[in-house]
Amino acid sequence: MSKDQLKGGIVFASALFIFCIALLLAACNRNSNIIKPADTLVNGSINISVDESFKPVIDEQIKVFEASFPQAKIIAHYKPEAECLKDIFKDSATRMVIVTRGLSGKEEKFFKDSINFTPRWDELATDAICVIVN
């Protein structure tokens, strides 16, 4: 083996060693660049404003939901109805409001005109009177 071949082998081995170290260091830093997945129906968290009169019912619903989906977290803020509706106007963190009534035509128009948003709403429950006779 000549000196030139030996010198070339040392240079190649050194370059290979430096490349492997650089690759190892780049792999160690990989976890810091992982993007957290977006919230879905079964994982992540959501802030909701709830009319305080629904507290017992909604607390139980949240317990059942979070037991079924442990990666999901529902953060309920119990407030008077007027405060709940204000949250949806001003608070971008609140993604859902549960109140005792639907939106009036004036409120729906305000959503459409001011923030270019058409709210979706539906009845969650209705009141009833039950008479049981023996």
| pLDDT-wise least confident of 8-17, 49-58, 76-85, 87-96 | 8-17
Expressed as residue numbers, the domain containing 97 is 44-115
Q: Has residue 34 been placed in a domain?
A: no
CA distance linking residue 85 with residue 37, whole number of Å: 29
Q: Has residue 80 been placed in a domain?
A: yes
Q: Count the domains in the chain.
A: 1
From the list 54, 102, 101, the residue with the least C-alpha distance to 79 is: 54
Q: Has residue 19 been placed in a domain?
A: no
Q: Has residue 73 been placed in a domain?
A: yes
* Strands, sheet with 44-51, edge to edge from the N-terminal-most edge strand: 72-79, 44-51, 94-98
Q: Has residue 10 been placed in a domain?
A: no
Q: Has residue 105 been placed in a domain?
A: yes
Domain containing 90 — which CATH number? 3.40.190.10
Q: How many Å is the Cα radius of gyration of the chain?
A: 29
CA distance linking residue 110 with residue 107, whole number of Å: 5
- Considering the chain, what percentage of its residues have pLDDT values greater than 90? 24
Q: Which two tokens stand for residue 71?
A: 């990666």
The pLDDT tens digits for 24-38 are 666 665 555 566 667
Question: Residue 8: pLDDT above 90?
Answer: no
Q: Has residue 86 been placed in a domain?
A: yes
Q: Which two tokens stand for residue 65?
A: 């939901």
Q: Has residue 130 been placed in a domain?
A: no
The pLDDT tens digits for 69-128 are 999 999 999 999 989 888 877 766 778 888 888 888 888 888 888 878 788 888 777 777
